[in-house]
Amino acid sequence: MKNKPLYFDYASTTKIRQEVYEAMLPYLQEEFGNPSSLYTIGIRNKKIINQCRKTIASLINAESHEIYFCSGGSEANNWAIKGVAFAHPDKREIITTKIEHPSVLNSCRFLEKLGYIVTYLDVDAEGFVNLQELEDKITDNTCLVSIMTANNEIGTIQDIQAIGEICARKGVHFHTDAIQAISHLPIDVKQLKIDLLSFSAHKFYGPKGIGCLYISKNTKIENLIHGGNQEREKRAGTENVAYIVGMAKAIELSYREMYSDNVRERDLSQLLYHRLKDAIPDMRLNGPEIGNRRLPGNLNISFKHVDGSQLCFELNEEGICVSTGSACHSDRIEPSHVLQAIKVPDDYIKGTIRITIGKDTTEEEIDKLTEAIIKRVKK
């Protein structure tokens, strides 16, 4: 039997928790009815969907009718950006940042082809938006500001409350991609003045293929998927009942354990970082320092004159899973757009790896990872 891999890529995806799996099982087997049906096994499924909606809404201080289920984070981001743009044809400007997830950036690029004007805000060396620049860029023609809560690569947590207040004061819709943040930060959509919020279950130990878009009741949005009357006529398609149940269970558990998980993951990150830094002086941390302005468990580090992709490959040969700091294209490998935006120096940028820690990470695993990285980098 193969040894269990040492997994350090929790920002990429997580495995389903046992409690989540068990909650889903009945809806994969005997409770199989179509929620749109008028017989008992369909009606029961409609009721459980509504209960899941209430559970999720209560955790982010939303109303249950403001919660819309979809296929995942990429669809939620596409829907938020394109849906608001299409619903406001008289306003043709959008503001985002240079370090957003590709599902946001590519949605904006698609709209540019249709004649929309998109402003891509710069960020500072730690990945933070300049709030005054944001305010200055908003015009009467701006229909949407889309800025992620926390960055998936370098862990930067934006001042979402300040951004929400700016957008509310300017009368502009505010969307935030909270896909990385939702399991680490308590989010109150009303207090933070968020109009649209995206998240995805597989980032917090739920199933892949299910996500959610919060749409405030005052937000006008166009449909992306047309067909039946599901999701209150906003998103067609037979509901994925088992996965909705799994997502609701996963986020409920995540919120319950958020504080203790954050403390443990942050402590393990500190331990790993300082051990590596002591052994490898030519190493830099990308993004904010480890603390309250950085996602717990996120380490994005660069080694001088090292090939990060080769390092990832060699660690994988030892059964260790980490992420590279490069973007792979069909014919080339380039540093990620996030690292370029924060201006990581040329002699470091190609030697970047991302390590993300999760619920199952142990100090013993940190020891093994530290030893493996030091051995490979020094070689």
At residue 342, the pLDDT reads: 98
70 catalytic? Reply is no
pTM of the model: 0.95
Using CA atoms, how far residue 254 sits from 47, 216, 221, 257, in Å, is 23, 23, 29, 5
- Find where tokens 């249709």 sit: 114
Q: What is the pLDDT along the chain (379 residues), one digit of tens a residue?
A: 357 899 999 999 999 999 999 999 999 999 999 999 889 989 999 999 999 999 999 999 999 999 999 999 999 999 999 999 999 999 999 999 999 999 999 999 999 999 999 999 999 999 999 999 999 999 999 999 999 999 999 999 999 999 999 999 999 999 999 999 999 999 999 999 999 999 999 999 999 999 999 999 999 999 999 999 999 999 999 999 999 999 999 999 999 999 999 999 999 999 999 999 999 999 999 999 999 999 999 999 999 999 999 999 999 999 999 998 755 444 557 889 999 999 999 999 999 999 999 999 999 999 999 999 999 998 7
Q: Give CATH 3.40.640.10 domain extents, the chain.
A: 18-256
- Tell me: domain 18-256, CATH 3.40.640.10, correct? yes
Strands of the 323-324 sheet, one edge to the other: 283-285, 298-303, 352-356, 323-324
Three-class SS state of 326 = strand
Among the four given CATH numbers 3.90.1150.10, 1.25.60.10, 2.60.120.280, 3.40.50.920, the one describing domain 258-378: 3.90.1150.10
Q: Give CATH 3.90.1150.10 domain extents, the chain.
A: 258-378
> CB–CB of 201/210 below 8 Å?
yes
Name residues whose C-beta falls within 8 Å of residue 25's C-beta, 6 or more positions apart in sequence: 242
| pLDDT tens-digit readout, 208-251 | 999 999 999 999 999 999 999 999 999 999 999 999 999 999 99
- Identity at 168, one-letter amino acid code: A
Size of the chain in residues: 379
Of residues 375, 326, 250, 372, the one with CA closest to residue 5: 372
At residue 2, the pLDDT reads: 59
Using CA atoms, how far residue 235 sits from 62, 120, 144, 172, 222, in Å, is 19, 29, 20, 24, 10
Of residues 119, 115, 127, 112, the one with CA closest to residue 146: 119
> CB–CB of 214/189 below 8 Å?
yes
- CB atoms under 10 Å from CB of 263, counted, come to 11
Q: Among residues 70, 167, 212, 328, which one is catalytic?
A: 328
